């Protein structure tokens, strides 16, 4: 057995410095050589180390090999060996949403919970072209003024209310963060942000196609800024990055048909969390999957055996599957066979955290004024609802103007309090992970409530499967209740 560390992420500035100091002339400091070397593993008997050395010393040959294998033969997974770290600076929160919908990546973004906002925002090119820049900027500045007033009032109130917490180590920072996270509900989706992104070349090509097809000028401009360094560094693995009719015409045609058949309208139920559907007899199905995985025989036999079990036997089986698990452990993979489909109505703030769970399926609608806004309870508590709603109303007045003259960019003026619908499918294993993070006592209150309602909905129909569903902070108490008291 032999394991070789073939490469790892290195800051591009370090690579530049090393090349300059070594007077490096060769054009082989590129992840393309790794992709080319790994692509040959399946058909070349030489050791991988030799294949990598060959790629490094013949970059042109490596690039031709990549083009032939990735695009000629269609083995696109080879491009996944090339990984890029990208700093994305000075984009709007709306543009960040457009990027961060792509699953096969890592993102770390400037937090509006921990950083005091200083009023920076992006003015989209379409709004400038429509002659609405003055009105747009005035509205954003009004929102930002309200943010400052809310933040100051919330901070003063919460420091008094939670004096005990403030007195602890890092307590001031914690309570200050609570003030920021509530005040930010009035700032716009045009607010500037920055984030670090790590993504492989295959997913980057997909991302570029989609961003270039976006209706918003800022998002299309971001695609060009992303592509420029990638095209120079790795031309052989990011090649087809222009949108096709599948990315443009198909989407527009679908939207036209769907909106004609089902125009936007307010929710009839008013529920913020609704369980739409789920796996039939989830507890029975989980037991069948556990028997199949850890027993013998085919699935039909496993299902028949699970069906014949009495309630106590099923409970013992599921308890055993969850035993010895800490709050950091993933549930057994058999839990992935149980699925739940939810319709969620969430604020932009809530969605900013929901979108991080990229292993779930998320079908996202545009922001919709008929869904109302989410008002932080602390703002009600300090008696500043009037100021909060003044910012919302001013935003919606500007939104109406933008909708008439530059509809593709109207959402920029909406606040973090405005809502959208999300259809999301999670399996039980992912739901355990979601609840552990989002129902924890340190989680942001908005998504914590969403997680609680999601948990309540599934506990009714899958009490065995979800017996340990809880936030990390409740794990020990729940474990004691389930395993020690019985």
- Establish if 308 belongs to a structural domain: yes
Q: Does the pLDDT of residue 360 top 90, yes or no?
A: yes
Please state, rounded to an integer, the average pLDDT across all residues of the chain. 93
Residue 197 domain flag: no
How many domains does the chain fold into?
Answer: 2
Query: Would you say residue 486 has pLDDT above 90?
Result: no
- Report the pLDDT averaged over residues 7-22: 87
162-218 tens-digit pLDDT? 999 999 999 999 999 999 999 999 999 999 999 999 999 899 999 999 999 999 999
- Asked if residue 306 belongs to a domain, the reply is yes
Among the residue ranges 1-5, 153-157, 244-248, the one predicted with the least confidence is: 1-5
Parent domain of 62? 12-81
Cα–Cα distances (Å) from 185 to 69, 392, 439, 448, in that order, read 49, 9, 20, 16
For residue 426, what pLDDT is reported? Answer: 97
Nearest by Cα to 95 from 223, 209, 202:
223
Of the CA atoms within 13 Å of residue 5, those in its CB half-sphere come to 3
Q: Which residues contact 161 (CB under 8 A, 6 or more apart)?
A: none
Pick from 8, 27, 163, 170: which is nearest to 81 by CA?
A: 8
Is pLDDT above 90 for 58? no
Q: How confident is the model at residue 485 (pLDDT cuts 50, 70, 90)?
A: low
What percent of the chain clears pLDDT 70, i.e. is strictly above it?
Answer: 99
| Residue 75 pLDDT | 72
Mean pLDDT in residue range 294-323:
96
**CA-based nearest residue to 278, from 290, 269, 286, 288:** 286
The β-bridge partners of 346 are: 420
Instruction: Tell me whether residue 329 is in a domain.
Output: yes
- What residues have CB less than 8 Å from 453, skipping those under 6 apart? 272, 273
Choice between 55 and 349, residue whose per-residue pLDDT is larger = 349
314 belongs to a structural domain: yes
Residue 73 within a domain: yes
- pLDDT score of 309 more than 80: yes
- The model's pLDDT over 216-266, given as tens digits with 9 standing for 90+, comes to 999 999 999 999 999 888 888 888 899 999 999 999 999 999 999 998 877
* Nearest to 356, CA basis, from 65, 66, 108: 108
Residue 300 burial class via C-beta count within 10 angstroms: exposed 0-12, middle 13-18, buried 19 and up: exposed
Burial (CB < 10 A; 0-12, 13-18, 19+), residue 207, is buried
Per-residue pLDDT at 386 exceeds 90: yes
Where residue 290 falls among pLDDT bands split at 50, 70, 90?
Answer: very high
Domain boundary among 301, 316, 335: 335
Which tokens go with 269?
């139920």
What number is the average pLDDT over the span 311-328?
Answer: 95
Segment holding 420, helix H or strand E: strand 419-427
Residue 215 is assigned to a structural domain of this protein = no
Q: How would residue 92 be classed by pLDDT, with cut points 50, 70 and 90?
A: very high
For residue 233, the SS3 value is helix
Question: Rounded mean pLDDT of 57-85?
Answer: 80
Domain end position, chosen among 298, 316, 335: 335
Among 62, 81, 100, give the residue marking a domain's end: 81
Higher pLDDT, 433 or 81: 433
Pairing of strands 192-200, 361-364: unpaired
What integer is the mean pLDDT of 356-373? 96
Rounded to an integer, the average pLDDT of 401-410 is 97
User: What is the Cα–Cα distance from 392 to 414, expressed in whole angstroms?
Assistant: 8
Q: What is the mean pLDDT of residues 270-285?
A: 96
- 48 belongs to a structural domain: yes
Does the pLDDT at position 413 exceed 70? yes
pLDDT on residue 144: 97
Mean pLDDT, range 430-445, rounded to an integer: 97
With tokens 């607010």, the residue in question is: 191
Q: Which residues contact 235 (CB under 8 A, 6 or more apart)?
A: 63
């Amino acid at each position: 057995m032999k394991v070789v560390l073939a490469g790892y992420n290195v800051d591009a500035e370090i690579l530049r410095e090393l090349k300059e100091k070594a007077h490096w002339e060769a054009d082989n400091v590129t992840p393309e050589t790794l992709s080319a070397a790994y692509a040959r593993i399946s058909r070349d008997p030489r050791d991988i180390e030799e294949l990598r050395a060959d790629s490094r010393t013949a970059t042109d040959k490596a690039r031709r090999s990549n083009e032939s294998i990735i695009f000629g033969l269609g083995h696109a997974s080879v491009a996944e060996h090339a990984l890029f770290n990208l700093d994305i600076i000075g984009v709007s929160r709306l543009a960040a949403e457009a990027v961060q919908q792509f699953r096969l990546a890592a993102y770390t973004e400037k937090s509006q919970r921990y950083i005091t906002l200083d009023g920076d925002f992006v003015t989209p090119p379409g709004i400038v072209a429509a002659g609405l820049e003055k009105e747009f900027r005035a509205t954003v500045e009004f929102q930002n003024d309200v943010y400052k007033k809310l933040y100051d009032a919330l901070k003063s109130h919460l420091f008094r209310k939670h004096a005990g917490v403030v007195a602890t180590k890092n307590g001031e920072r914690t309570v200050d963060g609570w003030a920021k996270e509530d005040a930010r509900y009035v700032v716009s989706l045009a607010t500037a942000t920055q984030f670090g992104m790590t993504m492989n070349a295959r997913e980057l090509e997909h991302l570029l196609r989609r961003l270039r097809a976006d209706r918003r000028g800022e998002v299309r401009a971001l695609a060009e800024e992303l592509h420029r360094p990638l095209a120079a560094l790795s031309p052989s693995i990011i090649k087809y990055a222009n949108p096709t009719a599948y990315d443009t015409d198909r989407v527009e045609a679908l939207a036209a048909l769907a909106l004609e058949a089902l125009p936007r309208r307010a929710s009839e139920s008013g529920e913020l969390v609704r369980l739409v559907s789920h796996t039939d007899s989830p507890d029975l199905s989980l037991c069948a999957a556990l028997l199949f995985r850890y027993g013998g025989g085919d699935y039909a036999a496993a299902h028949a055996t699970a069906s014949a079990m009495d309630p106590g036997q099923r409970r013992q089986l599921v308890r055993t599957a969850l035993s010895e698990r800490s709050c950091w452990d993933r549930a057994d993979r058999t839990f992935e066979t149980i699925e739940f489909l939810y319709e969620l109505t969430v604020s932009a703030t809530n969605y900013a955290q929901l979108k991080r769970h990229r292993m779930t399926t998320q079908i996202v609608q545009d922001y919709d004024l008929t869904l109302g806004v989410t008002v932080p309870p602390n703002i009600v508590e300090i008696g500043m609802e009037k100021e909060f709603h003044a910012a919302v109303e001013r935003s919606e007045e500007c939104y109406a103007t933008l909708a008439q003259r530059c509809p593709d960019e109207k959402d920029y003026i909406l606040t973090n309090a405005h809502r959208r619908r999300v259809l999301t499918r999670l399996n039980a294993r992912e739901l355990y992970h979601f609840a552990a993070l989002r129902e924890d006592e340190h989680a942001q209150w908005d998504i914590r409530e969403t997680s609680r309602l999601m948990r309540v909905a599934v506990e009714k129909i899958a009490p065995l499967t979800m017996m340990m569903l809880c936030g990390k902070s409740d794990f020990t108490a729940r474990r004691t209740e389930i395993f020690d008291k019985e």
